[in-house]
Amino acid sequence: MAHIRPFRAWRYNPEKITDINRKFSPLFDVVSPEQLEKLYATPNNSIHLSVPRSDEEALGKLSEWKEKGIILQDALPAIYIYYQEFSVFGDSKRYVRKGFVSMIQVDDDSGEKDSDIVLHEDTISSSVAERCRHLEKTLLNTAPTHGLYEDPEFELEKVMDRYMRDPLYEYVDYQGVINKLAIVQDRNDIEVFQSLLRTQKVYLADGHHRLASSVAVRRKAREATRNLPPDSFLNYHLMYLTNLFADDLRILPIHRVLTLAEKTYNP
């Protein structure tokens, strides 16, 4: 069954970064070339770690930001509550996706049949290799994957809503989505999350290449050392988890353009 644990995140130092709304960036697979260049020009933007021009640059920025105190690591392990309030085109209703970010245990069988994490798509080896290089160079998870758990009684929402009464961050992104983050460091509350997840599997909604890279890097480290400590960072993977039973989980159709040879087209 799925095993999650809290972790000590690296966050911007509020004494040095006062314009935090300008430090967020989209996921690497949705950011446009125009956005990318604009974000590269923004000092200390998170894009320099998540979608760097090179992995060496990411490592350099990470070391620099730590040394200068631009980012600080939380003193206590935590689970990070993350809400997104959004609207869907053609629908006036506002939805709120409620979830949390934690580390989830991976092993050599993660993603395989009967494993704790259930996949639904294949991966491209070159893309996995690219994410492996980034992870090996920085030893940093910069973009959590998205997993789904089952909580029909909404027990975790009760805990999350309580913490979200006083969010640490709240900002509106370029798509009009309201993003909120809160921190759970209380051990008893963390155990509520852990006890529910350890009774079930997690369904991976997004991030198959990132998960595959975590599994591959872990396997490589185990082969090199032959004895990876149980609490090693490489035994875990960063994941954003949301409730499969939530009404605000939206599944939308996608659009694909197919190019057909004229001779084979028969209307």
**pLDDT tens by residue, 103-126:** 999 987 776 666 889 998 889 999
Whether the CB-CB separation of 45 and 57 falls below 8 Å is answered with no
**pLDDT number for residue 259:** 72
* pLDDT tens readout for residues 72-82: 999 999 999 99
For the entire predicted model, the pTM comes to 0.90
Asked if pLDDT for residue 218 goes beyond 80, the answer is yes
Question: Given pLDDT bands bounded at 50, 70 and 90, which one contains residue 228?
Answer: confident
Whether the CB-CB separation of 168 and 183 falls below 8 Å is answered with yes
Asked if pLDDT for residue 242 goes beyond 50, the answer is yes
Q: Which of 81-95, 102-116, 133-147, 207-221 has the lowest mean pLDDT?
A: 102-116
- Structure tokens, 54: 């090179």
The average pLDDT across 51-80 equals 96
Interior/surface letters 2-11, b for 16+ CB within 10 angstroms, e for the rest: bebbbbebbb
CB-based contacts of 150-156 (< 8 A; 24+ apart in sequence) = 150/200, 150/243, 150/244, 150/245, 151/196, 151/243, 151/244, 151/245, 152/245, 154/243, 154/245, 154/246, 155/192, 155/196, 156/100, 156/192, 156/193, 156/196, 156/243
Question: Given pLDDT bands bounded at 50, 70 and 90, which one contains residue 264?
Answer: low
**pLDDT number for residue 44:** 96
- Structure tokens, 136: 């090996």
Asked if pLDDT for residue 255 goes beyond 80, the answer is no
Higher pLDDT, 255 or 159: 159
**pLDDT number for residue 252:** 78
Angstrom distance (rounded) from CA 14 to CA 140? 21
Cα of first residue to Cα of last residue in the chain, in angstroms, is 50
Q: Which of 35-44, 109-118, 244-253 has the lowest mean pLDDT?
A: 109-118
Q: Coil, strand or helix: which one is 133?
A: helix
Question: Given pLDDT bands bounded at 50, 70 and 90, which one contains residue 94?
Answer: very high
Angstrom distance (rounded) from CA 193 to CA 6? 10
The average pLDDT across 36-48 equals 95
Whether the CB-CB separation of 69 and 60 falls below 8 Å is answered with no
Question: Given pLDDT bands bounded at 50, 70 and 90, which one contains residue 265?
Answer: very low
Q: Is the dihedral of CA 253, 102, 132, 43 positive or negative?
A: positive
Asked if pLDDT for residue 30 goes beyond 60, the answer is yes
